[in-house]
């Protein structure tokens, strides 16, 4: 049976959270693109995410958290990194940080993980409903275009458990900033322009 497409009602978000708790996969809207999510703490669910995306296991997945408390529980960072993150979270930025309490399969065995707090009500409520950090990766087959609608997500990923329909989403993926380096490095340009980020890094780090 293929994925169900449902509206982003509170009832549907609660059901999606339960699916994630049970090891299932959910497509959900974010402030940038449609994301594919599962429990970032569940090895089996993470492996299923790699499989349905046809993504190489050596290519790390990022996670999404709902607040700074959850961020601190699963990553490590210093005060300077916190100053930078406070300027852009929630928002369309993924930060590379030292991981804590996360499975190696998620990051291809690497010590770092990409993490973000999306500026999207549905995504945040989904993470809160699941009660765990969730995988944050585009809802597409690796190498194919990111879907702009729930129907396009279904065409690429018909075997996920649930798709939350947030309407048409057009835009760029998140900007990726590595906060494990000094000074931090912008690894991928995205929805948050570099011209907004670089002055903050200069002010915090003195470069």
Q: Tell me, what's the pLDDT at 80?
A: 97
Query: In this structure, what CATH number is given to the domain that contains residue 22?
Result: 3.90.870.10
The pLDDT tens digits for 13-22 are 999 999 999 9
Range(s) of the domain holding residue 36: 4-205
- In this predicted structure, the answer to whether residue 207 has a pLDDT above a threshold of 80 is no
Say yes or no to pLDDT of 1 above 70: no
List the one residue out of 137, 135, 125 whose CA is nearest residue 66. Answer: 125
Percentage of residues of the chain with pLDDT beyond 70: 99
Residues 162, 23: contact at Cβ < 8 Å? Answer: no
In whole numbers, what is the pLDDT of the chain averaged over residues? 96
Instruction: Give me the pLDDT at residue 3, please.
Output: 73
Are 137 and 174 contacting, i.e. CB atoms less than 8 angstroms apart? Answer: no
What pLDDT does residue 11 have?
97
Q: For the full predicted model, state whether its pTM sits above 0.85.
A: yes
Q: Give the pLDDT score at 134.
A: 98
Asked if 9 and 129 count as a contact pair (C-beta separation under 8 A), the reply is no
Question: 88 with 179: CB under 8 angstroms?
Answer: no
- Number of domains into which the chain is organized: 1
Q: Rounded to 5 degrees, what angle do the CA atoms 49, 6, 59 make?
A: 15
Q: Which residues contact 165 (CB under 8 A, 6 or more apart)?
A: 5, 6, 7, 8, 29, 149, 150
pLDDT grade for 192, boundaries at 50, 70 and 90: very high
């Amino acid at each position: 049976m293929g994925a169900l497409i449902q509206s982003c009602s509170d009832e549907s978000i609660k059901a999606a959270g339960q699916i994630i708790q049970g090891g299932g996969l959910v497509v959900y809207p974010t402030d940038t693109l449609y994301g594919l999510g599962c429990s970032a703490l569940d090895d089996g669910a993470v492996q299923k995410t790699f499989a349905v995306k046809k993504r190489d296991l050596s290519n790390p997945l990022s996670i999404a958290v709902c607040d700074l408390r959850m961020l601190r529980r699963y990553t490590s960072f210093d005060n300077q990194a916190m100053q930078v993150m406070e300027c852009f979270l929630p928002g369309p930025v993924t930060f590379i940080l030292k991981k804590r309490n996360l499975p190696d399969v998620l990051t291809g065995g690497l010590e770092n993980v990409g993490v973000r707090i999306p500026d999207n009500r549905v995504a945040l409520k989904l993470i809160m409903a699941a009660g765990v950090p969730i995988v944050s990766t585009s809802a597409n087959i690796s190498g194919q275009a990111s879907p702009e609608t729930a129907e396009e997500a279904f065409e690429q990923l018909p075997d996920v458990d649930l798709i939350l329909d947030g309407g048409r989403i057009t835009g760029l993926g998140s900007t990726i900033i590595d906060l494990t380096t000094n000074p931090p490095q912008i690894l991928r340009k995205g929805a948050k322009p570099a011209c907004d980020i670089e002055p903050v890094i200069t002010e915090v780090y003195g470069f």
